[in-house]
């Protein structure tokens, strides 16, 4: 009898918390303390997941360390109608400009559709954020570029930086919000915002409790890729953006798994006590958390 097999399409943040989504639409709620254990089929390889609901016609192999899990052609098709890629300009929905904070000295400016609420911030792993203004798409995009240039903050931050800085988060919400409030004040003091963007007062939303970071030990390293025949098991202690923080016990402790590494692989059940046989990169400096 063939072993049960799953294909994961990624992690989504619902109002109830993070969920893993599987091929076919089934979802698995991720609760703190949940044991997560899986392996990769021994004779499998990672294949392109396709684009916009369509399978890749050539089932092209993709690199194990790719966070997109798509071949070049499917990646192009996926971004052909994307706000992030600046390929649409006629979206009639209102957009919000935000300021997000991921840890000391790590802030970014961005935009998201107003109807999505804070979902985009949870997906990015923003520890806290505030809205800056609301307006039409292109005006919001111009505001984003204005603030990026005038304030010297980026519109993108690599996830590797976000992961390492989580171990040094200040314990208090006021401390975590301090840089956001300061930069919000500087942003609103600029006098050349597009007229169609309505500015918003600083109201910092903190996601530490949503991510459960206050109860999790600092991570010591991160999974860099999955491999055929590899296994990973641990207790879910926190999650932020696409990252799951898994307590794997001694000797490794808490490891971060970027769930964007899962799509394209054929996954099978594994025992919770399975040995960790996937490549892991230790964080350069292990620092004690302040929680």
Q: Which of 144, 140, 138 has its CA nearest to residue 99?
A: 144
Q: At what angle do helices 137-151 and 173-189 cross, to 10 degrees?
A: 100
* pLDDT score for 86: 52
Rounded mean pLDDT for each run of 10 residues along the chain, 291 residues in total: 77 93 91 95 93 90 94 90 58 94 96 94 97 96 95 92 88 96 96 93 97 93 95 96 95 94 94 85 61 39
* pLDDT score for 286: 45
Residue 215's contacts (CB-CB under 8 Å, 6 or more residues apart) are 32, 237, 238, 291
* pLDDT score for 85: 47
Distance, CA of 99 to CA of 205 (rounded, Å)? 11
Considering the entire predicted model, what is its pTM?
Answer: 0.90
List, in sequence order, every beta strand (DSSP E) within the chain: 8-14, 17-22, 27-29, 35-40, 95-103, 106-113, 128-135, 198-199, 205-206, 221-223, 231-240, 243-247, 254-258, 267-269, 280-282
DSSP assignment of 11-25, as one string?
EEEETTEEEEEETTS
* pLDDT score for 189: 95
* pLDDT score for 83: 56
Both structure tokens of 5:
């097999």
Token pair 């209102």 in the structure block, residue:
94
The phi-psi region of residue 25 (left if phi > 0; otherwise alpha if psi is between -120 and 50; otherwise beta) is left
Both structure tokens of 139:
């005006």
Both structure tokens of 78:
């996926």
| C-alpha torsion angle, residues 235, 239, 245, 247 (rounded to 10) | -30
Residue 192: count of CB within 10 angstroms of its CB: 8
Distance, CA of 51 to CA of 10 (rounded, Å)? 14
- Contact between 260 and 242 (Cβ < 8 Å): yes
* pLDDT score for 131: 98
Q: What angle do CA 118, 26, 272 make, to 5 degrees?
A: 95
Both structure tokens of 228:
């055929």
* pLDDT score for 289: 43
For residue 46, the SS3 value is coil
DSSP letter (8 states) at residue 261: G
């Amino acid at each position: 009898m063939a072993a049960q097999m799953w294909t994961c399409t990624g992690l989504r943040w619902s109002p109830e918390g993070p969920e893993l989504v599987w091929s076919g639409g089934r979802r698995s709620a991720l609760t703190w303390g949940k044991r997560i254990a899986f392996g990769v089929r021994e004779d499998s390889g990672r294949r392109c997941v396709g684009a916009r609901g369509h399978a890749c016609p050539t089932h092209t192999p993709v690199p194990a360390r790719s966070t997109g899990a798509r071949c070049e052609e499917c990646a192009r098709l996926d971004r052909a109608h994307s706000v992030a890629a600046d390929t649409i300009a006629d979206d009639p929905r209102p957009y919000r400009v935000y300021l997000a904070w991921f840890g000391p000295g790590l802030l970014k400016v961005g935009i998201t559709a107003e109807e999505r609420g804070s979902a985009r911030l949870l997906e990015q792993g923003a520890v806290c954020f505030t809205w800056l203004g609301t307006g039409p798409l292109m005006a919001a995009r111009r505001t984003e570029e204005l603030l990026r240039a005038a304030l010297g903050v980026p519109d993108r931050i690599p996830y590797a930086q976000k992961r390492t800085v989580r171990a040094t988060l200040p314990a208090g919400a006021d401390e975590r919000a301090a840089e956001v409030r300061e930069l919000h004040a500087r942003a609103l003091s600029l006098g050349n915002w597009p007229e169609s963007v309505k500015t918003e007062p600083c109201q910092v939303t903190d996601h530490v409790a949503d991510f459960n970071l206050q109860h999790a030990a600092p991570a010591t390293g991160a999974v860099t890729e999955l491999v055929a025949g590899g296994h990973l098991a641990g207790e879910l202690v926190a999650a932020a953006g696409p990252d799951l923080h898994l307590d794997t016990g001694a000797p490794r402790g808490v490891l971060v798994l970027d769930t964007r590494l899962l799509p394209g692989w054929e996954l099978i059940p594994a025992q919770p006590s399975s040995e960790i046989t996937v490549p892991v990169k230790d964080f350069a400096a292990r620092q004690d958390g302040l929680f």
